[in-house]
Structure 1
Amino acid sequence: MKKVLIVTYYWPPAGGPGVQRWLKFAKYLPGYGIDPVIYVPGNPHYPLRDETLLAEIPSGIKVLKKDIFEPYAFAEFFSKKDTQSISSGIIPKEQKQGFIQKLMLYIRGNFFIPDARKFWIKPSVKYLSAYLQENQIDTIITTGPPHSMHLIGLRLKEKLAVNWIADFRDPWTQIGYHDKLKLTESSQKKHEQLEKEVLQKADTIITTSFTTQKEFRKKTATPVEVITNGYDVEQVKRLPMDEKFSLSHIGSLLSGRNPENLWRAISELISENENFAKDFQLKLIGAVGEPVLESIQKAGIEEHLALKDYVSHSEALQLQRSSQLLLLIEIDSEETKGIIPGKLFEYIVSDRPILAIGPQGADMEKIIRETNTGSFHLYSQKKEIKAFLLEKYELFQKGELKSFPIGLQQYSRKALTGKLAQQIRNF
C-alpha cells in the first residue's frame, strides 16, 4: 500500500468546515490502496472546537504531532474576543474597527507572512525530513489555509525532491479578507512571491473551486485540478421538522455576508402577509457579525430572529434537516465568486431547498442549478428573492415543501477521494 504524508493544521478536535475535507479523505484513501499519515500541530489554537469529531478519526491511522508556537496567546492578552474573531476571518469594516483591532490586523498582515503559523515551518521541515527518509515516503500533500502549510511542502520539495500536491481550500492573495490585512507594499509583494513559488514548484495543484482553478492556471504551468468539498453519508437522529417556516443559516455569518435586500424582502412579506408574519422564523446558528445584526434590526425583523451559538457537526446536520429552508450566503465580490462553502454539500443532501445569495458568476450557482437543490440570487435581486420565499411559503402551507435533487453522487466524499487517489497514483 502506497504511503502519503498529509500536512494539515486543522484536525479533530478542530471545529468548522476546514477539518472535514481531510478527515474524510483520510477515511476513504485506504479503500483506494493509499495509506495516509497525518501531520498536525500538537498544541494548536483552534478558534472553533468540536470534540465530537475525535470519534470520526479513522481507526489505526498514523497521526504525527509536533508542538507549534503561535502568537495568538499573546494577542489574547489584549483582546481575546478580537483575537478569536480575526483568526476566524471575521473582520469588521474599516470604520467599525477600534485601535486594538487595527493594530492586530496590521501586525497579522505584515509581521506574520503568510500567517501566524509561520513559526511551525522550520521545525516541521527538520522533523519531517528525517521521518520521510526513514519511512521511505516519497509523496506529500499540504492543505491550506493556513498557507504556511504549503511552505512546509515547498521546503521539503527543495530539500528531498519529494512528490508534492498542494491543496488550496481557499485562494491565497485573492481570498476575500486579504485586502483587509493593512499590508504594506513590501508585504503584499512577499505574499505574491511566496504564492508564486508554491504554484510553480508543486507537482500538482488542487483547488476546491472552478474559479480558483482558472485564476491559478493564469499564474502557473503546473497542472491545476478541481476536487470540490463534498458530503458524507452520515446517520444522525432526525429531529421533527420546524413548525415555523424557518429560514436557517448554519455556520459563521461574517460581516461581509450581509444581504440587506433579503432582510428587506422578508420585512415586506411580513408586512403584506399576516400568515407569513405569524409563521416565519429566521435562524442564525454560529458566529454573526454585528453589521448583520444591525441590518436585521434596521429592517424591523429582529422579533422573528432566533440566534444560537456554534454547534457540533452532528447537531448542525440535525438542524439542517429539520429546517424548512436553508440559507447560503457568500460575500458579494469578484474575489469570492470561486468560494464554494463546505456546508453547501451538506445542504444538498438534507432534502431541504436552498436559498443562495452571492456574487455574479459564483461557482456555487453552478452546483445548485445542476443538482436542482435550490435557487441562487444576486444581492440586488430583492424582487426575485421575495418571490422565491413566497413560493416556498405557499408549499410549506400545503405541507409540500421539500427538495428534489439530482446527480448528487459525484459530490460524495468517497467519489471525490477516488479523484484524489488518481492524482497520487500519477507519481
Structure 2
Amino acid sequence: MTDPTVPTDPTALPAGAGRLRQNEIYTQGIHGRRPRVPTDHAELERRARRVMSDRAWAYIAGGAGEGSTMAANRAALDRWAIVPRVLRDVSSRSTGIELFGQQLPAPVLFSPVGAGALAAHAADVHIGHAAAELGVPYIFSNQGSAPMETVAAEMDRVRSGAPRWFQLYWSTDDDLVDSLLARAEGMGANAVAVTLDTTMLGWRPQDLNLGSLPFARGEGIDQYTSDPRFTEIVAQRVRAAVGGEKPEISVGAIKTLFSIARNAPGSLMKNLTAPEPRVAVQTFLDIYSRPSLNWDDIAGLRDRTTLPIVLKGVLHPDDARRAVDVGVDGIIVSNHGGRQVDGAIGSIDALAAIAPAVDGRIKVLVDSGIHTGADVFKAIALGADAACIGRPHMYGLALAGADGARDVVANIIAELDLTLGLAGYTSIADVDRDALQRV
C-alpha cells in the first residue's frame, strides 16, 4: 500500500509536495496508467455511486430532509473567492501546522464516519492505515466498524505514534462514557471530539425510504460490542429478558438476524442462536446518545479525561464563546455534513462568524462540505486551524480501499500546497481573510 509520493516524515511535507504529486500522476500517464481515484470531487462521487450499494449510498451520501444544508455548505464556500497575489517568492512552502502539541504535515484530518463497513469491510482499519501513511490525524468514529484498539494497532504498524483522535457520543450510561474515554486514552488518542449535534438522529429520507438503519443490523457498533461496560449492560438485559416477549418472525427479520450475527464478535452459528447479539443492537439504540446533554456535562468532562477536549457541532458564536468559558481546548464548526437539520447554516458561513468570536483562544476546526484543497485554503483564511474531510475519503475507500482513502486526501493536500503557492503564500500561518474576497 506504500505510495512513493506520500511523505515518510510525519512533521512536514517536502517543499513543492503538490507539484511532486502532480508530476507523479503525469509520469504514470506516460505509461497509460491513470489515477486509482479521480482527482476531482464530482467524478469521484459519480464513480463511488456506481460501486456502492443503495444502502451504503443512502447512509454515507445522504443528508437531512431535502438536502438544503448540504447545498448550503457548498454555496457558503462559493461565496468566498481567492484573490491571488503575484511576484512573491513561493519556491519554498510549508503546509505544516501545530495542533495540541503535535506537528502535522497539513491542516487536514480524516473525519469520523459511522458504519463505514457499508463502503468496505473493516473500513476503519483501512482509513486508519491511510491516515497513518499521510501522517495526519484520523478521528476514530464512536460508531465505527472495528474496535478502536484494532485501528490504533494498524496505524502504529504503519507509523509508530501516528496521530489519532476519538469521537465520543455521550451515552445515557455514565460508566460507558468513562469506559470509552479510558480506552481512548489507552490506545493513544491525542484528543477527544464530543459530538453535540446528534443526540437524536435527524430526518434522513434516503435511509428512511429504504427502511435502513445500519446500527439496527449490527453495523457500526463495534466500539460498543468490544467495550467491557457495554457487554456488562447487555448481559444484565439478557438475564432480565429470560422468558420475555418473542420477536416477530418475518423474512426481513431473518435477514437482519444474519446481518447482526455476522457483525457481532464470535462465530456466526453461535451468534444466530445466542440472545446477546440481538440484545446488544437494541441496547445500543437505547443508550448510545443522551438528548439531555448540556453545558454542565461538558464542564465536568475535564475531571473524566486527561485528553484535550474538542466540541464537534458548534454553529453559533454564542456557543463558541461558551465553549471557551467552560475551558475546552477546541471546537469543530460542523453541521454534521448536512445530515441532521435541513435548512441549517452552512459550516463556512458559521466559521466566518465564529472565528472572530473565539479570537484564537481555542483551536477552531471545520467540516461539512470540504471537498478540495482550495476549500481547505478558504477555511484557513476564514480562521480555521484545520479542516476535516468526510465523504470524499469514504468515496475513495469504496473505490480502492486504504489506497483510495489515502489518495483522495493526498490529492486534497497536494492541491492545498499548490493553491497556497499560487495565491502568493509560503506558509499556512500567513493565510488570513486578506486572501479572500466575498462574492
TM-score of the aligned structures, taking structure 2 as reference length: 0.25
Higher RCO (C-alpha 8 Å, min separation 6): 2
**Structure 1 length as normaliser, TM-score?**
0.26
- Normalized per residue, the structure richer in strand is 1
